[in-house]
DNA sequence: AGTCGTTGTGAATCGGCGC
DNA sequence: GGCGCCGATTCACAACGAC
């Protein structure tokens, strides 16, 4: 599962590549990745062990360090990995980045400068953050994720129904309440945490479920302890992990080896309504489910129209598709005829959409 | 209350200055402002109309003041008003900026570039955001505030205890749940909203209570409908509002005129613990509240020490302040002796901090 | 007076496909 | 690429009117 640098014509799948992430990304084929999740190092001010793209080490922060030089170095690093990521993404692919106030504003500005198109900023609210011990600031209880498509006009994937279902049938908001990674989920080595910033699997679960489909390829350029790979495997997605530290890569590989994929792909896929087979309204007439001449009404019986043999409706004065006639009688610009029109079955009004669903159920 | 441009030697207080905010800021004296709250244009970049599922049109922010040609234009505007703001701030003053994902990353990067020091990013979670009508993204349910001091080493004000009290005696977190401005609070003109982006007073209440003291001077360079001024007046702070639109300035002035300041300054001031009179532990001994020789113990009676006449403690082997000895017995680097040590009063353990509070209550 | 249903609205970067 | 059509899509409140 662990590999060193190599030029690839096809992306190596479900592997961890050890080394500098930018060099690895540049060796992978253009436009080959569906989604990227990135948890880049935070700013120099805290860590001081940032590597330049060429793997040379940035001088550690000391009393003489110049803030402007440091931000410039971090910006340069950000620019480089983001442009490599953009090259790798499919045109309809999306990118997630997570960060804190130390680095996320710089990353966000770079994203916009490079033409990524922001879809949402998402706040991970921690149920159990570390308190502010000195009482000099607000408790820093969240991190920020930015979700963006490769380009402004990308037809990106968003599994709206899956997210809505996850949230008790209310549309998912941009603020997510999830615990930090603790307890048995937290990887340990000799009783010490194996990685300082291991992300919780619940966070990746939501990210992956929201923005990918089964068998999609997910890249994580800062793989660390491999949370992205573990959740990708469980949800039957493919992944590539890039990690410069061979020790972390080994821990991640061992972790992922223990993960079992959900056995049934249907359990981890939520097909969008938009992706369902299209059934023309005329099919209902052809198949005798609705006879020509049947009278359709709206829910409050304010309007009515008759079904014609060619699958159009007529009110006498107006004629056209179920959508067009629905819009016309309401004097509205548009209308979803499937939901607007009802037919009477045994004295009760039934939306014609119910009839369509029966056809779909017969021939899946 | 409304004034036009003029060069000032002292800041004009509790007034609204009409005109370009940068010119006004440059005409105000350097280092004269305690806190700045800024709600700059978000640069939303909207294109077509958006319809709700019921075909009604969303009343979007399409005002001229929110339109910028490019990110470069927006960045230049941001750079200019931030540098003017920095000049105006006292060296220990703080700046708040609010924004959405459209602009906040650019503003945040600029703040860092100009040497402001970030203290927190704060998320305003809306209880009642506008939904995402097309189901194409997560519901955009929050906005982001950045709170920063003028410089890295500023001794900024943070009313920790006031924030903790506001949050049921739990440390205030960086995610705030507050409703948007609706109902009677929302200013209307002829039944239409008077300003497209009026902020709720609850948000400013928290911002002002967190970071200012009674009689402080607060500047709002994008005054709009004057929420900052209204809340500042009620909480007995002073304000300067800058607004380029004379119509908005008039509405704000009328609004603020109706606000009544809280009558008792004590109700809106929360002196920090560290601003309270310092009581040396020795005072308790001098005043006979604790006799030399009294045995202090920790809450679980694992450790004990005896009080000496000079206000130090001794365990026999170690001797020093209540803090030093507390740290020593625990083998901890530091210890707050006031909270660590207890004395027995009528069979019950009482923290020595309680004794200190009694002294403070006697002579306030 | 109180309850219940209807209507309105909020800083919004809010389609996809075939011809 | 442009155009036209199909058809998918909303939550929390406040205000108001009906009963």
> Are A303 and A189 in a shared domain?
no
CATH code, domain with A84: 3.40.50.150
| pLDDT above 60: residue A63 | no
- A263, burial (CB in 10 Å: exposed 0-12, middle 13-18, buried 19+): exposed
| pLDDT tens digits along A90-109 | 999 999 999 999 999 999 99
Residue at which a domain ends, from B227, B257, B274: B274
Torsion, Cα of B24, B28, B30, B36 (10° steps) = -60
- Domain annotation covers residue A354: yes
- B320, burial (CB in 10 Å: exposed 0-12, middle 13-18, buried 19+): middle
Interface test with A, best of B96, B117, B124, B139 (most A CBs within 10 A): B139
Q: Is the CB of B132 under 7 A from strand C?
A: yes
> Are A205 and A135 in a shared domain?
yes
Check residue B272 and give its pLDDT. Answer: 66
Residue at which a domain ends, from A244, A274, A304: A274
Check residue B363 and give its pLDDT. Answer: 57
| Of A283, A9, A120, A117, residue with least CA distance to B136 | A120
| pLDDT tens digits along B126-158 | 999 999 999 999 999 999 999 999 999 999 999
What SS3 class is residue B236? coil
A102 inside 8 A of chain B by CB: yes
> Are B144 and B28 in a shared domain?
yes
Q: Which residues between 199 and 258 in chain A have a beta carbon less than 8 angstroms from any beta carbon of chain B?
A: 210
Looking at the 3D structure of chain A, how many domains does it have? Answer: 2
CA distance B146 to B106: 12
> Are A258 and A131 in a shared domain?
yes
What SS3 class is residue B266? helix
| pLDDT tens digits along A323-338 | 999 999 998 889 999 9
| pLDDT above 70: residue A66 | no
Check residue B70 and give its pLDDT. Answer: 93
| pLDDT above 70: residue A72 | yes
Angle at B126 between CA A209 and CA B131, to 5 degrees: 55
Cβ pair A292, A285 in contact under 8 A: yes
Most confident of A69-83, A307-321, A340-354, B108-122: B108-122
More confident residue, A55 or B154: B154
| pLDDT tens digits along A131-149 | 999 999 999 999 999 999 9
| Of B178, B242, B233, residue with least CA distance to B22 | B242
Residue at which a domain ends, from B240, B274, B308: B274
- Domain annotation covers residue A53: no
Classify residue B168 as left (phi > 0), alpha (psi -120 to 50) or beta.
left
> Are B237 and B259 in a shared domain?
yes
Whole-number percent of chain A with pLDDT over 90: 76
- Domain annotation covers residue B168: yes
| pLDDT above 90: residue A280 | yes
| Of A199, A202, A210, A208, residue with least CA distance to A238 | A208
> Are A116 and A196 in a shared domain?
yes
Cβ pair A212, A237 in contact under 8 A: yes
> Are A215 and A261 in a shared domain?
yes
The residues facing A308 across adjacent strands are: none
Taking the C1' atom of D7, which residue's CA lies nearest? A336
- Domain annotation covers residue A317: yes
| pLDDT above 70: residue A61 | no
What SS3 class is residue A80? helix
> Are B26 and B64 in a shared domain?
yes
pLDDT band at A64 (very low <50, low <70, confident <90, very high): very low
| Chain B environment of A112 (Cβ under 8 Å) | 71, 105-106
- Domain annotation covers residue A10: no
CA distance A14 to B330: 49
Q: Sign (positive/negative) of CA torsion A328, A332, A337, A342?
A: negative
CA distance B203 to B205: 5
DSSP secondary structure letters along B273-341: GGGSPP--HHHHHHTTSS-TTPEEE-TTSS-EEEE-TTS-EE-SS-EE-HHHHHHHHHT-S---HHHH-
Query: Could you tell me which chain A residue has the CA closest to the CA of B107?
Result: A105
| pLDDT tens digits along B91-106 | 999 999 999 999 999 9
Chain-wide mean pLDDT for chain B? 93
> Are A78 and A189 in a shared domain?
yes
Check residue A68 and give its pLDDT. Answer: 52
Structure tokens at A39: 């948890």
Domain hosting residue A68, numbered range? 15-45+58-274
Check residue A364 and give its pLDDT. Answer: 54
Q: Is the CB of B318 under 7 A from strand C?
A: no
Check residue A45 and give its pLDDT. Answer: 52
């Amino acid at each position: 599962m662990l590999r060193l640098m190599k030029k690839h014509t096809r992306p190596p799948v479900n592997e961890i590549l050890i080394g500098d992430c930018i060099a690895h990304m540049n060796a992978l084929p253009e436009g080959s990745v569906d989604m990227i999740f990135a948890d880049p190092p935070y700013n120099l001010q805290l860590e001081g062990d940032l590597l330049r793209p060429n793997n040379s080490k940035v001088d550690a922060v000391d009393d003489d360090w110049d803030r402007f030089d440091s931000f410039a170095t971090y910006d340069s690093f950000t620019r480089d990995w983001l442009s490599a990521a953009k090259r790798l993404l499919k045109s309809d692919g999306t990118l997630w980045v997570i960060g804190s106030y130390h680095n996320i504003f710089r990353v966000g500005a770079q994203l916009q400068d490079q033409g990524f198109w922001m879809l949402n900023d998402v706040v991970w609210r921690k149920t159990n953050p570390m308190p502010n011990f000195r009482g000099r600031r607000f408790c820093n209880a969240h991190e920020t994720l930015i979700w963006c498509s490769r380009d402004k006009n990308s037809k990106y994937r968003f599994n709206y129904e899956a997210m809505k279902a996850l949230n008790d049938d209310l549309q998912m908001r941009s603020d997510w309440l999830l615990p930090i990674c603790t307890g048995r989920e937290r990887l340990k080595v000799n009783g010490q945490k194996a990685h300082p910033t291991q992300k919780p699997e619940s966070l990746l679960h939501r990210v992956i479920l929201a923005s990918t489909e089964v068998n999609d390829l997910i890249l994580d350029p800062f793989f660390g302890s491999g949370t992205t790979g573990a959740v990708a495997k469980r949800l039957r997605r493919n992944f590539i992990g890039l990690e410069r530290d061979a020790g972390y890569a080994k821990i991640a590989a061992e972790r992922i080896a223990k993960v079992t994929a959900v056995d049934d792909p249907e359990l981890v896929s939520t097909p969008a309504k938009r992706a369902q087979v299209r059934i023309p309204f005329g099919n209902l007439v052809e198949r005798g489910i609705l006879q020509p001449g049947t009278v359709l009404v709206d829910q409050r019986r304010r309007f009515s129209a008759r079904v014609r043999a060619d699958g159009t409706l007529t009110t006498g004065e107006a004629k056209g598709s179920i959508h067009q006639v629905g819009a016309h009688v309401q004097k509205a610009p548009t209308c979803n005829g499937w939901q607007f029109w009802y037919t009477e079955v045994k004295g009760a009004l039934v939306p014609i959409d119910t009839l369509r669903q029966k056809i779909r159920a017969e021939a899946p």
